[in-house]
Amino acid sequence: MQTMTSLAFLYVILPAAMAFFLLCPPVWRQGALLAVSLGFFLMVQPSTFPLLLACLATDRLILALIYRYDHSEALRKGCVAASVIKNLLVMLVMEALFQMNRLVEAPWGLRIYALSSLSCVLEAYRGQIPRERSTLSYLLYCSFFPRLEAGPLLPYRDFAPQLEYLNPTLTEIGAGFGVYLQGAVKAGVLGQSLQVTYDALRAFPPEDVTVAGTWCTVLILALAVYYRLSGLSEMARGVGQMMGISLPKNFYFPYQSQGVTDFFQRFNISVSAFIRNNVYRPLQTEEDSVFADCLNLILWGVLMGLWFGLRINYMLWGAYLALFLILEKHVFSHMEDKIPPLFMRIYTLCVILSSFTIFGGASPRASAATIASMFSFQRLELYNDRLVYLLSSNWLLLVVSLLFATSAVSLVMSFLRRILPRFSALLTTAVNAALLVMFTIFTIRVG
Amino acid sequence: MKRISSVLLGAALLLLPFFLLGAGGGDSLPLSSALWMGSGRLTSYLEGYLNLHLPWVDQMAQWNLSIRAFGGQREYNQVFICGDELIRDIDPPVEYSLRENAASILEFAERGSIPTYCMIVPTASAIRQQSLPPFTQTQMVNQKQIIEDVYSEMVGRVTVADTYPVLFNARDQYLYYRTEDNLTSLGGFYLYTVLGPKLLEGVARPSLADYDIEFVKNDFYGSLYQKSPYKDARADSLAIFRYTKNPRQYLVKKDQDGALKTYHTLYPLHMLDLSREMDVFLGGLSAITTIEANSPYRASLLVFGDKTALAYLPFLVNHYSTVTLVDLFQLSSQGYDSLSLLDYDQVLFGYSIETFMHYNIPSRANRLLDTLDD
């Protein structure tokens, strides 16, 4: 389902939503934004609209109960437990139904609105948000439409205060549109093209599988996941900015991390932070043994994997990365400063790339076969014509994807902004205009 | 400066829909039930609408392919971009279809007791393989091998016409359209040079000198171009070959869109005005096409075929009083009822290898065997 990466969104839905939002007086804009968000949901997937309403209504009720029974810790805990169980159960059941082909399409935005409403309940329980917050802002927080596709997640306490004065300037709207376009090209052009290349590599018949081909498959999957998710998050950030709402960055050049711990702070940042704040830290105690912490870290990793769906391989992917978190925290922590950054980057890249053999596999056995293929120099050819053809057909895509996965271009732009601010502003406008054309050209259905 | 650029971009966003409307995009703005948000169809409806009505949409489709080609991509929508020509890539064979079709033709020949012939026509991706992008040859379907395997099964029971060597030897000629997935009239002539001697005993060696060649359209862009509108693809010329050695009168009858159409020519040129360029040949492919010629020959031929027949039948009809082309894909139950094998002296199965490998269409002919029992 293409929602924000569609021509309909760019040329009709987004301008219409912005016009409606801006035409409303600032005091009505919260309501206008909620109407737009719910309308957008109805437009994308009307069949699960009742699920959204039911989910949000239940947690709103739980919130009210938490406030009402603030004198009884047991009742408050019961409310939180009910919300946790309800949200996990809904996500689990819907995902299972989808995997069993009982649902035509996966419930849109379920993970975001379920975890957002849960986050709201948890924050209320911890007293991190004042009582007087309105139902309107709660509903908008959970259903804010740009976030529903892939996040980012953020605490209610960071979101709600921004709703009090929604009056973006044209400058903010323009800057936000630029961010949206960058995200659209990342997700809709690069991410989509990488996904097609990945699918083509996966479709190689067994006799055409080569060692280099397997390595390329893993590399391209890692890039496709990054561009798809980071692009969608940036689009959400851009649209948010256009409406005067600041959303956090969700990806920050994860493949140049120095260590897996660093990777968790750069890849799907908001989900990682959500798990850290709501699972890892609450389960952590002062007297924790190393063993208990290790289990806790593994749980963190597994939950990071479950974010992508209910599959054994996703859980194993997270658990595999968690093993390196454990090593970095409990075994090599004292050596951190002594290891050269370049070595750390190479080590991290190897760990992350190898983790995508697990991520991309249909089953643990399939992943094991992939890993075996990566080193089967005796059994398999190093490369063949089919691989050379596919790579040569996509050389520009691969070069651009690799380049923009690093911070090189971002550093050059920062440098230009510092020494040639006017030129850099002009360049940014030109680049954004080019991105608009590029996105349109690559989104048009050809043939 | 930064402020100005942001303001420009912000204003651009808000003005985009007006720009679309101003550029003619609002001509047929959807005002149907799809507009109801809760229908769940609005986004896909809008998307389809924009894909058709966005200003410069054709130009942008070409830019899309040009950028892809610059980035190394030489195949789009299963169409290879090979310099100025487009060649369709074909999927690997479906073993079941291949076996089923071969077996059913053999059964047809054995039960039908009518001289049966088979011709499997290779596609441009095999004959024009030297034009394909580098490194693709090894992954292409070995059409020659497949055709030889099928023919070796049929040998002695069905007369086969192996057109591969003839087409391959003439591969540098204009045998296949550059932008359409079919043989040209010249390609059809080469098929006829192989097929004629098999079907017709004692027929003189066909010569191009016996035909007047008329180019009826020189700027034709076919279906491959629609799928992959690469700007450097060269337009095709549609040529019709008129038999001048012994001119004939023809009557082409076909059931088209539920109505019986008749043409007193093999090449109804008015199709050019209807933008149905490929229908210039026998009026296009329909369930049953009957061609009657005032020839001195009395024999009749039944052809089970696909669109490749449009290329070679205009040559073959000169040797028969009646030729009936049946497209089993389009043939309805009433169509089966209207045919009787007893009316024919010869039966030809003439299919593109793609149809033969992927669809169980030739095997449907066996339903007609019942007409012999009746």
Q: A203 and A107 share a domain?
A: no
Report d(CA B154, CA B162) in Å as an integer. Answer: 12
The answer to whether residue A224 is domain-embedded is yes
Backbone angles phi, psi at B71, to 5 degrees: -80, 10
User: Domain span at residue A432?
Assistant: 409-443
Report d(CA A149, CA B336) in Å as an integer. Answer: 53
Q: Does A16 touch chain B (CB under 8 A)?
A: yes
Q: Does B209 touch chain A (CB under 8 A)?
A: no
Nearest CA in chain B to A392: B72
The answer to whether residue A230 is domain-embedded is yes
pLDDT tens track of chain A, all 447 residues?
Answer: 568 888 888 888 899 899 899 998 888 899 999 999 999 898 888 888 898 999 898 988 888 888 888 788 888 888 889 999 999 998 888 888 888 887 778 888 889 999 999 999 898 888 888 876 688 889 999 999 999 988 799 999 899 888 888 888 888 888 899 999 999 999 999 999 999 999 999 988 888 889 999 999 999 999 999 999 999 999 999 999 999 999 999 999 999 898 899 999 999 999 999 999 888 888 887 776 888 888 889 999 999 999 888 889 999 999 999 999 998 888 887 777 788 888 888 999 999 999 999 998 888 898 888 888 888 877 888 888 889 989 999 999 999 999 999 999 989 988 988 898 888 888 888 898 899 999 999 998 887
Q: Does B59 touch chain A (CB under 8 A)?
A: no
Cβ-defined contact of B43 to A8 (cutoff 8 Å): yes
Q: Tell me, what's the ipTM?
A: 0.82
The answer to whether residue A370 is domain-embedded is yes
- Please write the tens of the pLDDT for every residue from B144-167: 999 999 999 988 889 999 999 999
Cβ-defined contact of A174 to B16 (cutoff 8 Å): no
Whether A109 contacts A151, CB under 8 Å: no
Say what the pLDDT of residue B21 is. Answer: 59
Q: What is the pLDDT confidence band of residue B105, given thresholds at 50, 70 and 90?
A: very high
Q: Burial, A94: exposed, middle or buried (Cβ in 10 Å; 0-12, 13-18, 19+)?
A: buried
Nearest CA in chain A to B2: A425
Chain B residues with CB inside 8 Å of A184's CB? Answer: none
Angle at A369 between CA A364 and CA A371, to 5 degrees: 95
CA dihedral A185, A188, A192, A193 (to 10 degrees): -40
Q: A206 and A312 share a domain?
A: yes
Q: Are strands B300-305 and B322-326 parallel, antiparallel or unpaired?
A: parallel
Q: A44 and A193 share a domain?
A: no
User: Of A165, A181, A206, which marks where a domain is finished?
Assistant: A165
Q: A313 and A419 share a domain?
A: no
The answer to whether residue A107 is domain-embedded is yes
Report d(CA B327, CA B359) in Å as an integer. Answer: 13
What number is the average pLDDT over the span B310-317? 93
Q: A88 and A235 share a domain?
A: no
CA distances from A281 to A121, A288, B24 (A): 17, 11, 58
Q: Does B8 touch chain A (CB under 8 A)?
A: yes
CA distances from B67 to A189, A447, B76, B353 (A): 12, 16, 12, 33
Name residues 319-338 of chain A within 8 A of B (Cβ): none
Cβ-defined contact of A174 to B7 (cutoff 8 Å): yes
The answer to whether residue A2 is domain-embedded is no
Chain A residues with CB inside 8 Å of B70's CB? Answer: 396
Angle at A275 between CA A270 and CA A281, to 5 degrees: 125
Name residues 110-149 of chain B within 8 A of A (Cβ): 133-139
Q: Are strands B85-88 and B79-82 parallel, antiparallel or unpaired?
A: antiparallel
Say what the pLDDT of residue A220 is. Answer: 95
Across chain B, mean pLDDT equals 86
Report d(CA A327, CA A83) in Å as an integer. Answer: 34
Q: Does B29 touch chain A (CB under 8 A)?
A: no
Q: A212 and A143 share a domain?
A: no
**Residue owning tokens 């296009």:** B284
User: Of A99, A133, A165, which marks where a domain is finished?
Assistant: A165
User: Of A147, A165, A183, which marks where a domain is finished?
Assistant: A165
Based on its alpha-carbon atoms, the radius of gyration of chain B, rounded to whole angstroms, reads 24
Q: A161 and A249 share a domain?
A: no
Q: A417 and A369 share a domain?
A: no
Q: Is the pLDDT of residue B33 over 50?
A: no
CA distances from A15 to A75, B12, B89 (A): 46, 10, 41
Q: Does B50 touch chain A (CB under 8 A)?
A: yes
Report d(CA A297, CA A303) in Å as an integer. Answer: 10
Q: Does A392 touch chain B (CB under 8 A)?
A: yes
Whether B309 contacts B303, CB under 8 Å: yes
From A132's Cα to the closest Cα of chain B, the distance in A is: 33
| Higher pLDDT pick, B23 / B181 | B181
The answer to whether residue A117 is domain-embedded is yes
Say what the pLDDT of residue B164 is. Answer: 94
Say what the pLDDT of residue A198 is. Answer: 94
Q: A339 and A274 share a domain?
A: yes
Say what the pLDDT of residue B83 is. Answer: 86
Report d(CA A431, CA A179) in Å as an integer. Answer: 11
From B139's Cα to the closest Cα of chain A, the distance in A is: 6
Cβ-defined contact of B54 to A9 (cutoff 8 Å): no
From A15's Cα to the closest Cα of chain B, the distance in A is: 5
CB burial of A252-280 (b: ≥16 within 10 Å; e: otherwise) equals ebbbbbbbbbbbbebbbbbbbbbbbbbeb
Q: A398 and A311 share a domain?
A: yes
Q: A191 and A322 share a domain?
A: yes
CA dihedral A362, A364, A368, A370 (to 10 degrees): 10
Dump the DSSP string for B251-282.
Answer: EEEEEETTEEEEESSS--GGGGTTT-GGGGTT
The answer to whether residue A67 is domain-embedded is yes
Neighbouring CB atoms inside 10 A of A340's CB total 9
Overall residue count recorded for chain B in this entry: 374
SS3 content of chain B, % helix, strand, coil (to 5): 45, 20, 35
Nearest CA in chain A to B8: A174
List the single residue in B9, B40, B79 with the smallest CB-CB distance to A46: B40
List the single residue in B7, B64, B137 with the smallest CB-CB distance to A441: B64
What number is the average pLDDT over the span B327-354? 89
What number is the average pLDDT over the span B18-23? 62
Of A223-232, B263-272, B292-301, the range with the lowest mean pLDDT is: B292-301
Q: A136 and A181 share a domain?
A: no
Cβ-defined contact of B138 to A386 (cutoff 8 Å): yes
Chain A residues with CB inside 8 Å of B139's CB? Answer: 208, 385-386, 389
Of B85-89, B140-144, B199-203, the range with the lowest mean pLDDT is: B199-203
Of A229-243, B246-260, B298-312, the range with the lowest mean pLDDT is: B246-260
Say what the pLDDT of residue B34 is. Answer: 47
Whether B282 contacts B252, CB under 8 Å: yes
Tell me how many domains chain A contains: 3
Say what the pLDDT of residue B234 is. Answer: 94
Cβ-defined contact of A177 to B12 (cutoff 8 Å): yes
Report d(CA B132, CA A127) in Å as an integer. Answer: 68
Between chain A and chain B, how many beta carbons pairs sit less than 8 Å apart? 166
Report d(CA A233, CA B157) in Å as an integer. Answer: 66
Delimit the domains of chain B by residue range.
15-55, 85-373
Say what the pLDDT of residue B187 is. Answer: 95
Q: Is A100 helix (H, G, I), strand (E, B) or coil?
A: coil
The answer to whether residue A1 is domain-embedded is no
Name residues 226-265 of chain A within 8 A of B (Cβ): 242
Q: Does B76 touch chain A (CB under 8 A)?
A: yes
Nearest CA in chain B to A417: B2
What number is the average pLDDT over the span B255-282? 88
- Please write the tens of the pLDDT for every residue from B197-220: 888 887 777 788 889 999 999 999
Nearest CA in chain A to B78: A447
Q: Does B244 touch chain A (CB under 8 A)?
A: no
